[in-house]
């Protein structure tokens, strides 16, 4: 279970996510979204789906938003919920990952998230790691 905090926001959902490294931050941000979206039903194990994802951007903020929106888009288009995210490589402008997913039918969907937004977006290197604040359009 990824630890994140919900941030008060009038109409949407805000999250504050931490990670010891940039890889951890991006992994935790993605997993937080899917913990908000759905909870797993008690079912027998099913074969996971692995998807390779590559994202490029002009800066770290754009990379985070592109990453989160790609996960949301793939989830919606393919009927999947992401259970694990393995960041293989990351720098300020590029991310390579493998996303491990399960069929959405294995989950109870609680919330629909349309997109991650740039509104009040913050990414900062802090003592002991990284922190991001993201507003999610619901």
Contact (CB, 8 A) for 26 and 90 = yes
Domains and CATH numbers, the chain: 4-137 (3.55.10.10)
Tokens of 50: 């692995």
What are the residue ranges in the chain where pLDDT is below 50? none
Contact (CB, 8 A) for 84 and 59 = no
pLDDT for 124 equals 97
Distance separating alpha carbons of residues 99 and 84, to the nearest angstrom? 6
Contact (CB, 8 A) for 70 and 4 = no
pTM of the model: 0.91
pLDDT for 108 equals 93
pLDDT for 8 equals 67
């Amino acid at each position: 279970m990824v630890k994140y905090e919900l941030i008060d926001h009038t109409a949407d959902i805000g999250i504050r996510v931490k990670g010891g490294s940039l890889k951890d931050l991006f992994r935790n941000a993605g997993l937080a979204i899917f913990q908000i979206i759905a909870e797993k039903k008690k079912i027998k194990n099913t074969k996971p789906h692995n998807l390779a994802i590559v994202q490029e951007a002009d800066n770290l903020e754009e990379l985070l938003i592109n990453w989160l929106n790609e996960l949301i888009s793939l989830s919606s288009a393919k009927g999947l919920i992401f259970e694990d995210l393995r960041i293989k490589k990351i720098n300020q402008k590029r991310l390579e990952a493998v996303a491990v997913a399960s069929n959405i039918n294995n989950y109870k969907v609680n919330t629909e998230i349309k997109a991650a937004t740039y509104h009040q977006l913050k990414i900062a290197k802090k003592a002991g790691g990284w922190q991001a604040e993201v507003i999610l359009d619901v």
